[in-house]
Amino acid sequence: MARQADRFVNPYTFIPLTRRTAVAGLGVQEDSSSPITGVIHCTLETMRPIAVPGSQPKDDDTPIPFFKIAGEPAIPGSSLRGCIRNVFETITASCVRTNGELLHSTSGLKQPGLLKKRADGKYELFAAKRYGVKKDFLARNHKSGERVMFNGREGRTATSGTVLDIGSRCRRTGWFLHVNTIDTGEANHPSVFEQGKSLGVIDARYVDIALRENIAKYNKKDEESKRLKRTAEEGDAPKNAFAQEYEDAFNRMIRGDGLLPVWYGMQKGNGVKSYQFSWAQVSRSVYPVTPQTFVAQKALSPCTSERNACPACSLFGFVPTSGGEGAARASRVRFSDATLVSGCQYHFMKDKDGLDPYLPPLMEPRQSAFEMYLRNAKYPHTFTPESEGTELAGRKAYWHHQDQLQWGEPKETVSGEQLTRRMEVLDAQSTFEFDVYLDGITKEQLNSLLWALTFGQYWTGSDDCWHLIGHGKPVGLGSVRIAVDGIQTRTVDMQGYHVLDEASWKMNLAKVEKLLDSSSVRALKHVANHTTIPATSDISYPATEPEGDIFEWFAKNRQAFNRNTDLPVYGTCLPSIDASNQSMPRNPPTPGPSNSVTEPRPNAKLSNMVLIAGTAATAKSDATPVEVVPRYEGVIRNISMSKSGIVIGRIGSQSGKELFCHINFSPNMDPNEWKLRFKKGVRVSFEIQPNPKGKDDVAANIEFL
């Protein structure tokens, strides 16, 4: 069957975070009277090709070899441990260890301003007019943050102009700003900022985050920068030449000495008014709300105490965050390397030239992609990290590909850095064996670990759910199936060792899943099921066409700042994990309140449901099937406003019947955002639901076509 050319499925989804709760038998605070020691024997079968890199070659031309032991392909125990721990963390609502380097950020043109530290300790922002300094003014004569006298000529806009002269006899007062050159030899002219009206007091956290993440972080104090000195000619200034100079000016302003030229962005709406500061007009700046902030709101911050360790840290152990000092806990489990089963035949994949294939460039997490990494139930299509109701989308998980393999081509950056490398890729149908050693754990921990190893299939005997391991998950690599072949357990007391039979420690599946977080279990089984995404789906990163430019898709999908709200507006957002349709449009709709995929209703259950001509067809799934509500197409006939300002519209369906649409009966969106798209003549699809007020049926769960 042909794939849909106009739609794609994003390679990853998110399992929503649930608040941590204490579970008896899964924490360190419960001292088991009969701790279990032993070993679990496992078999791993590659269901899709996998890429597990070994030692890194010294040159870019040599393919990255597969990990090997004694010349045979193997999978290191560390990779197995990380894979199983991720599953265990999810099903037990354990702590989330986020990368401290990942920050929510935004980019775009900013306005000139001046920042001041007042006598009362508060920060005040002033509007400013920026006058460009011609190249023939010697840069060495002035520094960033320096107060200067100048004469200037007005520019084409109210916030621009040109400096004609600088000196004590000039009439105007301003503050000098140097910025880094784009590269050596590329001129980037300095500016003088003239003070305008006050824009009010600024929360100190915006100033703090600007200094830590937008200024000091990019002032690289390496030996090369120290050797390079600024010359008289502006265009000859080395990259990063003025970073320390600006950081010094920033610190003087914090001490109350003078005004600091800044480029600022302001966003207002959704109950907040936020600012971003940088020292260049076109730059990236970060928000004070970080991924760690959202994790803390769910009580899922990384464990720092052995006494209060989460279930995953209790079993797998933990070390102090960021490599610092503090509490740590030893692991109670150890994973051996997975070695090839004796006599197993294997071979490595080759491209059309008979060589190791190139993997395409794989994306790092982009915390600026709010429509992917964040969620906001109140404002689904126009929000920032600071908007009321914003939260992390959840724990990242990748979909399984059924029959796609996406090889890459040689590709490098403008500077010649390699973006793609050849890599040894092991084909499917290879079988490995490994062991998991246990040291003094509870029977609850043992049974939960067995669930994590097999997605509960240790009890059911099914094989629908697979793990993902190694490199290349977004492009169809890494799917493996793990089976438990045998378990040997014992306890030890004053009388010696005692071998345990299965009946003494094994719990039934229902009791095991009562220990776990039920919503996470359902979601994880959904994404781990290798049949969830149809074979006809094109699983790929967002792009306007297959293998197209990712940046272009995101640019089309969002309107940087809506005139009414000063907030980003997204045409479509990543479907939630329980949405029946995971596909997204390659040509995103005009940014507005509609999503290309219907937002799930609050009590929707997971299922593999396919809507066919308004009826429900159920695919094989462990989840309970639910009825799919038929959808209809129509045109908005008219709109009006009630006294409360809520939009009311009338929709005409294909049958000619007209229905009221009230925003309260549709996805819960900001009325101001809703009005951007809810206009006469616009085509929509919708469901029909009973009116809670007992009147005629209403149109609900609107999608704009």
> What pLDDT score does 89 carry?
96
CA nearest to 472, candidates 94, 124, 49, 154:
49
Residue 413 confidence (pLDDT) above 70: no
Predicted TM-score (pTM) of the model is 0.76
Confidence of residue 563 (pLDDT cuts 50, 70, 90): very low
More confidently predicted of 41 and 237: 41
* 548 Cβ contact list (under 8 Å, min separation 6): 586
> Which range has highest mean pLDDT (490-499, 554-563, 604-613)?
490-499
> What pLDDT score does 684 carry?
72
Longest dimension (CA), the chain: 97
CA nearest to 484, candidates 175, 40, 53:
40
Confidence of residue 273 (pLDDT cuts 50, 70, 90): confident
Mean pLDDT is lowest, of 408-422, 571-585, 607-621, for: 607-621
Question: What is the mean pLDDT of the segment spanning 653-657?
Answer: 54
DSSP per-residue codes, 310-322: -HHHHHH-B--GG
Give the separation between CA 671 and CA 663, rounded to whole angstroms: 8
> Which range has highest mean pLDDT (116-125, 260-269, 659-668)?
116-125
> What pLDDT score does 26 carry?
85
> What pLDDT score does 424 carry?
94
Strands 123-132 and 160-166: parallel
DSSP E strands in 382-456: the ranges are 390-392, 395-398, 431-441
Mean pLDDT is lowest, of 84-98, 309-323, 659-673, for: 659-673
Residue 280 confidence (pLDDT) above 60: yes
> Which range has highest mean pLDDT (166-175, 304-313, 448-457)?
448-457
Q: Model confidence over 568-586: pLDDT tens digits?
A: 888 889 999 988 889 999 9
Confidence of residue 640 (pLDDT cuts 50, 70, 90): low
Residue 625 confidence (pLDDT) above 60: no
Give the separation between CA 545 and CA 684, rounded to whole angstroms: 24
> What pLDDT score does 666 carry?
41
Confidence of residue 438 (pLDDT cuts 50, 70, 90): very high
Confidence of residue 225 (pLDDT cuts 50, 70, 90): very low
In whole numbers, what is the pLDDT of the chain averaged over residues? 79
More confidently predicted of 222 and 75: 75
Query: Residue with structure tokens 């107060």?
Result: 147
More confidently predicted of 564 and 46: 46
Q: What percent of the chain is predicted at pLDDT more than 70?
A: 74
Question: What is the mean pLDDT of the segment spanning 311-323?
Answer: 82
Mean pLDDT is lowest, of 246-250, 593-597, 624-628, 648-652, for: 593-597
Give the separation between CA 378 and CA 391, rounded to whole angstroms: 11
> What pLDDT score does 184 carry?
39
The pair of structure tokens assigned to 122 is: 């508060």
Residue 330 confidence (pLDDT) above 60: yes
> What pLDDT score does 258 carry?
93
Give the separation between CA 604 and CA 65, rounded to whole angstroms: 45
More confidently predicted of 106 and 191: 191
More confidently predicted of 604 and 472: 472
Question: What is the mean pLDDT of the segment spanning 197-224?
Answer: 77
Question: What is the mean pLDDT of the segment spanning 180-208?
Answer: 79
> What pLDDT score does 158 carry?
75
> What pLDDT score does 310 carry?
92
> What pLDDT score does 139 carry?
52
CA nearest to 699, candidates 654, 649, 656:
649
Question: What is the mean pLDDT of the segment spanning 257-267?
Answer: 91
Q: What is the DSSP letter of 382?
A: S
Residue 636 confidence (pLDDT) above 80: no
> Which range has highest mean pLDDT (32-36, 59-63, 341-345, 413-417)?
341-345
CA nearest to 444, candidates 16, 19, 17, 22:
22
CA nearest to 66, candidates 402, 347, 353, 334:
347
Tell me the angle at which helices 518-528 and 77-91 cross, rounded to the nearest 10 degrees: 130
How far is CA 593 from each of CA 338, 523, 665, 681, rounded to the nearest angstrom?
49, 26, 15, 16
Give the separation between CA 39 and CA 20, rounded to whole angstroms: 29
Q: Model confidence over 539-549: pLDDT tens digits?
A: 999 998 887 78
More confidently predicted of 214 and 643: 214
CA nearest to 573, candidates 703, 666, 661:
703
> What pLDDT score does 486 carry?
96
Mean pLDDT is lowest, of 309-313, 397-401, 515-519, 635-639, for: 635-639
Residue 481 confidence (pLDDT) above 90: yes
* 376 Cβ contact list (under 8 Å, min separation 6): 270, 383, 387, 389, 390, 391
> What pLDDT score does 628 carry?
45
Give the separation between CA 595 and CA 569, rounded to whole angstroms: 11
Residue 301 confidence (pLDDT) above 60: yes
> What pLDDT score does 28 carry?
66
Residues forming beta bridges with residue 632, ordered by sequence position: 686
